[in-house]
Structure 1
Amino acid sequence: MDKKITIVTADDHPMLLKGLTEELTTNGYNVIGQATNGIQALELVLKLQPAIALLDIDMPVLTGFEVIKMAREKGAKTKFIILSFHKESYYIVQAKAFQIDGYLLKEDTFFEIEHCINEVLNGNIYFSKSIDDQPLQNASEELKRLNLLTLSETKILKLIAQEISNQEIADTLSVSIRTIEKHRSNIIEKLGLKKGNNVLTNWALLNRNVILSQ
């Protein structure tokens, strides 16, 4: 594998960004841009079109996930690898929903980072070996349940995730509130949620990024 592949790195912690960049450069990779916030990262990816972008999730202005979504909408062919402290199911679900090429943890060795780069350049999806199987399985199950929804149910769920009321959803779709309530009940059942006040709204807000990516 030719190590002179172009890479953009992004992290709002200067020391972590410096260390990662130096490690990549020392090992023969061509780091052509560095960003300390999401908008800088997006601009660099769109301008430089690197082969790989290594992004943190929690960055000012735009998150790593938002950078990836917006870059792809603008036609970027870059392979995206998340490098984060987060290993919880919530983040893994988002990574899978956005079809991110690689997901690494900041605790991983450089050997693991290099292995991930090679895998994604070969067209594979790679998740850190440090991530337990359970979060990965949970993420896959949640996405499977979302795929059970009809087009109408998916549309309604997206509106719920945007904090739009039942009445506004009914008006938007030109149906009765009773029809919306029936759809909400069906969605709750398909997603396997426990029934209760605002359970669907709370779930939709928590998983907003995943829902809106569908």
Structure 2
Amino acid sequence: MSRIVIADDHPLMLSGLVALLGQSSHDIIGKATNGNEALMLIEQLEPDIVVLDARMPEKSGVEVVQELIAKVRRPAVVVLTADLNDDDLVALMDAGVEGIVLKNGGEHLLVDCLDKVASGRNAIPRELRNRHTQLMASRSQSPLNSLSHRDREIIALVRKGLRNRAIGEELGLTEGTVKVYLNRIYEKLSVSSRTELLMVLQTLV
């Protein structure tokens, strides 16, 4: 039996998820209504799986996932969404989430997804995997095209001379998460330091 934390800011959706999963083989050990609550429960309860709404106040599901990347041990992540913009899809796929469930699908999709994730399998719809592949192919034509909206926000603050802690305070991220983002930016632009990053940006912009 998997121990699960659920986070969704809509009370009806949250109660519906609890009722649905209460009939499954999964055990709900915590409920949250925003991203910060979700992170707190994950830290306290150490669930096997966390189910996150992609759009929540304070911190979105996408931002919670980015926070979790910096942790040595993290739960498997399933994201619920009505739709995903390109940047969020790339961010979730790059972060290695285990499952994505579209809210316009049937109730059984979430249970099926959790069953797969609990057994160590990937549960991301084929259409989203194909869309991600197409996005990566189109973005590979220019290094800057591979940067997400959050990447660009961080780069803008780096160009202003802010250090990691100050960037985190500005964007509501931990210093560790900022480091993760910067390392991914370095990989995308084939650089290894802030100095190289700034030099490359001068030639590309």
Distance 1:22 1:47 in 2: 23
For the structure 1 residues 93 and 109, does the alpha-carbon distance in structure 2 shift closer, same or farther, using more than 3 Å as the test? same
1:61 match: 58
User: Which amino acid is the alignment partner of residue 93 of structure 1?
Assistant: V
Q: SS state of the match for residue 86, structure 1?
A: coil
**Cα deviation, residue 132, structure 1:** 5.8
Identity %: 24
1:188 match: none
For the structure 1 residues 143 and 42, does the alpha-carbon distance in structure 2 shift closer, same or farther, using more than 3 Å as the test? farther
Work out which of the residue numbers 173, 191, 195 in structure 1 matches 2:195: 173
1:1-214 residue pairs with structure 2 within 5 A?
Answer: 4-128=1-125, 131=127, 135-141=131-137, 161-164=154-157, 173=195, 180-182=201-203, 184=204
Q: SS state of the match for residue 127, structure 1?
A: coil
For the structure 1 residues 145 and 96, does the alpha-carbon distance in structure 2 shift closer, same or farther, using more than 3 Å as the test? farther
User: Which amino acid is the alignment partner of residue 52 of structure 1?
Assistant: I
Distance 1:15 1:48 in 2: 24
Deviation string for 1:78-98 (max 9, x for gaps)? 100000111443322121121
CA RMSD of aligned residues (A): 3.3
TM-score (norm. length: structure 1): 0.65
CA contact (8 A) 1:89 1:138 kept: no
Larger Rg: 1
CA contact (8 A) 2:69 2:95 kept: no
Gaps spanning 5+ residues in structure 1: where? 186-214
Distance 2:88 2:121 in 1: 19
Distance 1:159 1:90 in 2: 11
Gaps spanning 5+ residues in structure 2: where? 163-193
